[in-house]
Amino acid sequence: MNLMNEKGVKGKKMKKTLLIAACMLLASDVWASGRDYVSIVGSSTVYPFATTVAERFGKTSSFKTPKIESTGSGGGMKLFCAGTAIDTPDITNASRRIKKSEYDSCMKNGVKEIVEVKVGYDGIVLANSKKAPRFKLSKKDIYLALARTVPDPKGSKTFVDNPYTTWKEVNASLPDTKIEVMGPPPTSGTRDAFDELAMQGGCKTFPWVKAMKKTDKEQFKAVCQALREDGPYIEAGENDNLIIQKLEANPDSLGIFGFSYLDQNADKIQGSIVDGVEPSFDKISDGSYSISRSLYMYVKKSHVGVVPGLEEYLAEFTSDRAWGEEGYLAEKGLIPMPEEERTQVGKAVNELIPLQM
């Protein structure tokens, strides 16, 4: 009796698991067959702009609204380059250019034709609370304040552990407050760009370090891009709103984030002047504010014509009313490219010219 019942329950469970497994296998054929919306992944910096376009596109066309995941530039590339199957994303956004290694992995997985679309610029700002005076920094100051190792202050051509604790020690014209900077973690594209543009830029102001770039590139990168880990640089997570709240609470600290957050919170915080240029819409657009980067989107050509709405989404993104000087993306904080560059990129998108690397 007992045994029979045990078998009965076991049998029931087995049947159920088998049934579920069968359903899954059956369904996987069904749902792999097609997708009627555009699937986008990638950078959290491009996310606000991509979503704005997607929403307008969904509401003003007969296509479904594209789905946009915020995975970070690197995570997006990984998903994008996984293959050409229909369940892989059609577009990945990036706050930096595609790396050679990523391009190679794309090629290896059969993603042979990638169309690169530059969508605009973004400035990285260092900002502090309006309760404190505005900082006037140079890239050299930024580097000296935040690098893990700095050139020996005594003048010898060696690196020493960063000895600076206050801004005044870095540069006599700066206030006598503790160095305290909140910024993104290493997984963030903003951090990549900051390391490359601001830190490396400041590093190069030492001629003998600059010379090192030619002789020992690895070493040069290591010393110029490593941020200090002894306290003054605080990794504050990817949430830029949180950094802004902390800046308000602590007027002595600085924060690092994208220009659109400064734009939206101009009543609370002020952007520091870097190398004599204030971060503003116009200054970033014309290239005089130096810590700015290009934003990209990469399109899988083999999905064009297969996924409904993909071409039309691209057309909407590259239309003047979206990325133009007075377009709706500018209102969201995207810094548009100059007109000639826009026509040039727009033309390349129209003809879907694949990227060669």
For the purposes of burial, counting CB atoms within 10 Å of the CB of 76, is it exposed (0-12), middle (13-18) or buried (19 or more)? buried
Q: Binding segment for other proteins among 32-40, 112-120, 170-178, 275-283 (CB under 8 A)?
A: 32-40
The residue (of 32 and 160) whose beta carbon lies closer to other proteins is 32
Per-residue binding string, other proteins, 157-196, x by CB under 8 A, is ----------------------------------------
Distance CA 256, CA 127 (A): 7
**Residue 83 Cβ vs other proteins, minimum distance, rounded to whole Å:** 11
**Residue 217 Cβ vs other proteins, minimum distance, rounded to whole Å:** 35
The residue (of 59 and 108) whose beta carbon lies closer to other proteins is 59
Using the rule CB under 8 A, is 28 a contact of other proteins? yes
Q: Binding segment for other proteins among 55-63, 112-120, 205-213, 287-295 (CB under 8 A)?
A: 55-63
**Residue 27 Cβ vs other proteins, minimum distance, rounded to whole Å:** 7
**Residue 58 Cβ vs other proteins, minimum distance, rounded to whole Å:** 5
Among 43, 46, 47, 81, which residue interacts with other proteins (rule: CB under 8 A)? 47
Count of C-beta atoms within a 10 Å radius of residue 231: 10
**Site size with other proteins, rule: CB under 8 A:** 58
Cβ–Cβ < 8 Å for 227, 188:
no
In the region spanning residues 312 to 341, those forming contacts with other proteins, defined by CB under 8 A, are 326, 328, 332-333
**CA distances, 45 to each of 71, 181, 236, 297 (Å):** 10, 20, 16, 12
Position 79, amino acid: L
Distance CA 227, CA 248 (A): 24
Cβ–Cβ < 8 Å for 209, 224:
yes
Tokens 């059969």 belong to residue: 110
Using the rule CB under 8 A, is 238 a contact of other proteins? yes
Among 46, 54, 144, 179, which residue interacts with other proteins (rule: CB under 8 A)? 54
In the region spanning residues 123 to 162, those forming contacts with other proteins, defined by CB under 8 A, are 130
Supply the Cα-derived Rg of the chain in whole angstroms.
25
Any idea what the Cα angle at residue 293 is, between residues 81 and 132, rounded to 5°? 130
Kindly report each contact of residues 196-199 with a partner whose C-beta sits within 8 Å and lies 24 or more positions away, as own/partner. 196/225, 197/124, 197/290, 197/291, 197/292, 197/293, 198/124, 198/139, 198/142, 198/143, 198/274, 198/291, 199/142, 199/143, 199/146, 199/147, 199/224, 199/225, 199/227
**Residue 87 Cβ vs other proteins, minimum distance, rounded to whole Å:** 6
**Residue 65 Cβ vs other proteins, minimum distance, rounded to whole Å:** 4
Q: Is 278 helix (H, G, I), strand (E, B) or coil?
A: coil
Cα 57 from chain centroid? Answer: 23
Using the rule CB under 8 A, is 33 a contact of other proteins? no
Distance CA 155, CA 312 (A): 59
Distance CA 258, CA 95 (A): 11
Distance CA 89, CA 76 (A): 9
Distance CA 123, CA 289 (A): 8
Q: Binding segment for other proteins among 105-113, 162-170, 234-242, 297-305 (CB under 8 A)?
A: 234-242
Q: Binding segment for other proteins among 90-98, 168-176, 261-269, 348-356 (CB under 8 A)?
A: 261-269
Using the rule CB under 8 A, is 56 a contact of other proteins? yes
Among 19, 42, 46, 64, which residue interacts with other proteins (rule: CB under 8 A)? 64
**Residue 268 Cβ vs other proteins, minimum distance, rounded to whole Å:** 9
**Residue 212 Cβ vs other proteins, minimum distance, rounded to whole Å:** 39
Using the rule CB under 8 A, is 281 a contact of other proteins? no
Which residues make up the interface to other proteins (CB under 8 A)?
Answer: 1-2, 5-6, 8-10, 12-13, 16, 20, 24-25, 27-28, 31-32, 37, 39, 41, 44, 47-48, 50-52, 54-56, 58-62, 64-65, 67-70, 87, 130, 238-241, 258, 260-261, 263-267, 326, 328, 332-333
